[in-house]
Amino acid sequence: MERVGKWLGRPREIYNLLRFKMGGGAAVMPPLDQDALSDGLKTCYRYLNQTSRSFAAVIQALDGELRHAVCIFYLVLRALDTVEDDMTINLETKVPMLHDFHSYLYQPDWRYMESKEKDKQVLEDFPTISLEFRNLAKVYRDVIADICHKMGAGMAEFLEKKVDTQHEWDKYCHYVAGLVGIGLSRLFSASELEDLIVGQDTELANSMGLFLQKTNIIRDYLEDQLEGREFWPREVWSRYAKKLSDLTKPENIDVAVQCMNELITNALHHIPDVLTYLSRLKNQSVFNFCAIPQIYRKVPSTDPSSNKTQQIIVSIRTMSLPNGVEVSRNHYSPIYLSCAMLLAALSWQYLSAMSKASEEYVQASEN
C-alpha cells in the first residue's frame, strides 16, 4: 500500500493538472507566511516538507483555510499509510489500528512510538497533527475523518489479499487513490472555491483517482518487481505469462507490451470522466487538445487491445473536437495533452527500462 494516493504522491503534476492557468506558464506558488501560523501548524508544515517536499509547494498555492485543511489531510493519510507500510507491526496489532485510526483524530494523547518507518515522526507526534485537525472547521474535519475511516478499512482488507481481478484492481485503486480524489474534491467544495457538484459527484472524483493510480501502477512495473511487489491484476497478466516476472525477460517483449497495452486501455476508460471532472473546475482555462488523434493513428492494428483502444480514443476525440459534444462551456484543461504524453511516455519508458533492467533482474533472481 506504499502507493497510497497518487493524487498526493505526485503533487506538482496534480496541481498543474487541476489548477493550471494557460497563458501564465507554470503555476506560481506564493510563499507560506510562517509568522501567521500557530506553533502547531508550523510543525505540521515542517513534517509536510520532510515527508513530501513538493506537496508543501502545492499547499502554498491554495487559498485561505483550504491550505491548512489539505495539509492536515495529507499528514493524516501519511500517518495512516505509515502504519500500513510498517512490516514490523504484526497483523493482530495493525488491523485494529487501521480500522480505528480515524478515531485517533479525536484522542488528544494518542501516538505510536514503535514504528520503524522513515516517516515515523508523523506517528510519534500525532498529537500535534490531531490538535490541528480539531482546530479545522467542522466541514473539513468531517471529510478528513470519513476518508480516513474508509481508507483504513480498505487497507486492512488488502493486507493479505492480492489484486487478482480487474474488479479488485478498481477496488484497490479506489481505496488508495479514488478516496483521496473524493476527499480533495469535497474539501474543494467545502472551501467554496469550487461548486458543490465537484464534491458531490464522487463517481467522477473516484474515476480521476483511478486514472492517475493506474497509470502509475503501469509505469512502476519494473520498480515494483525489483522490490517484490505486484499490483498488476492477475486476470490480465496471466493471459500473457505464467508469472508476472516473466514479462521482464527480453524474449517476452512482444507479449509484455501487449499486456501493458491492455492495462493502458483499461486506464483510458476513465478519461471521459476525467475531462468532465476537470471541466467543472471554475479556474480551468481552455486548452484545445490535438495530440490524441495522432496517437490514434499509431495504435498497432496487430495489438489485441487495438480495437478497444481506438474506440475509447474516438469517444475522447468526440469530447474535444470543435463539432463534438461539449462537456461544459469553455472549460478544458491540459489533461488532453497530458494523456497523450502519458501514453507515449509509458510505452517509451517501459521498453527502455525493461531492456536495461531485465538482465539485472534475471541475475538477481539467479543469485
The span from the CA of 85 to the CA of 82, in Å, is: 5
The pTM score is 0.73
Handedness of CA 295, 298, 303, 304 (dihedral sign): positive
Of 341 and 199, the one with more pLDDT:
199
> pLDDT-derived band of residue 64, with 50, 70 and 90 as boundaries?
confident
Active-site entry in 12, 46, 141, 219: 219
Mean pLDDT lowest among 78-82, 164-168, 220-224, 252-256: 220-224
The DSSP code sequence of 4-26 is --HHHHSHHHHHHHHH--TTS-S
Mean pLDDT lowest among 5-19, 230-244, 285-299: 285-299
The span from the CA of 151 to the CA of 176, in Å, is: 7
Mean pLDDT of the chain: 76
pLDDT cut 70: percent of the chain above it: 65
Predicted local distance difference test score (pLDDT) of residue 219: 84
Predicted local distance difference test score (pLDDT) of residue 184: 87
For the cut 90, the answer to whether the pLDDT of residue 354 exceeds it is no
* Cα separations in angstroms, 218 against 10, 62, 160, 319: 15, 30, 22, 25
pLDDT cut 90: percent of the chain above it: 40
The span from the CA of 325 to the CA of 308, in Å, is: 21
**pLDDT tens-digit series, residues 285-323:** 222 222 232 364 445 566 565 666 566 555 655 554 444
The span from the CA of 105 to the CA of 76, in Å, is: 8
Residue with cell 499509431: 298
Predicted local distance difference test score (pLDDT) of residue 225: 87
Of 217 and 356, the one with more pLDDT:
217
The reply to whether 332 belongs to the active site is no
For the cut 70, the answer to whether the pLDDT of residue 214 exceeds it is yes
Predicted local distance difference test score (pLDDT) of residue 296: 44
Mean pLDDT of 28-32: 52
Predicted local distance difference test score (pLDDT) of residue 311: 62
Of 74 and 24, the one with more pLDDT:
74
The reply to whether 188 belongs to the active site is no
Nearest 10 degrees: CA dihedral of 258, 263, 266, 271?
Answer: -110
26 phi and psi angles, rounded to 5 deg: -65, 150
Active-site entry in 47, 55, 104, 172: 172
The reply to whether 229 belongs to the active site is yes
Nearest 10 degrees: CA dihedral of 151, 152, 155, 157?
Answer: -110
The reply to whether 329 belongs to the active site is no
Active-site entry in 12, 46, 111, 229: 229
**pLDDT tens-digit series, residues 110-136:** 999 999 999 999 999 999 999 999 999
Of 212 and 335, the one with more pLDDT:
212
| Measured CA angle at 172 (ends 168, 173), to 5 deg | 115
Active-site entry in 20, 104, 188, 289: 289
